[in-house]
């Protein structure tokens, strides 16, 4: 009886843990859990990443169009992530 109760309780807690927190991916949630939840600087990290990508785009302005497209895509994805975090 105790084993069944424990199994049901564990399943319930695991399903609740999968809910979105701060619009982070599952991997990001796990990383936060591993680092005692110190993820409030996520916006700062994303802002820094945006700056780095913009700098890389400027450096590769005369580079191949494929490389610039990849960098532009990364920039847009990072901006979307930042907006999701700021909206929460």
Summarised one tens digit per residue, pLDDT across range 8-56 is 656 655 555 544 445 667 777 666 666 544 555 788 889 999 999 999 9
Q: pTM (2 decimals)? A: 0.54
Burial (0-12, 13-18, 19+ Cβ within 10 Å), 81 = buried
Mean pLDDT across 61-82:
91
Within 8 A by CB and 6+ apart from 39, the residues are: 22, 24, 28, 31, 32
Within 8 A by CB and 6+ apart from 66, the residues are: none
Mean pLDDT across 53-75:
91
Contact 46, 25 (CB under 8 A): no
pLDDT in tens, 72-88: 999 999 999 988 877 76
Alpha carbons 47 and 44: distance in angstroms, whole number:
5
Of 44, 42, 70, nearest to 56 (Cα)?
70
């Amino acid at each position: 009886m105790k084993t069944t109760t424990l199994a049901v309780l564990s399943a319930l807690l695991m399903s609740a843990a999968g809910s979105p927190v701060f619009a982070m991916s599952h991997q990001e949630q796990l990383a936060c859990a591993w680092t005692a939840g110190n993820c409030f600087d996520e916006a700062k990290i994303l802002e820094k990443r945006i700056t780095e990508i913009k700098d890389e785009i400027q450096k590769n302005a005369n580079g191949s169009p494929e490389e610039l497209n990849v960098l532009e895509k990364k920039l847009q994805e990072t901006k979307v992530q930042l907006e999701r975090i700021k909206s929460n």
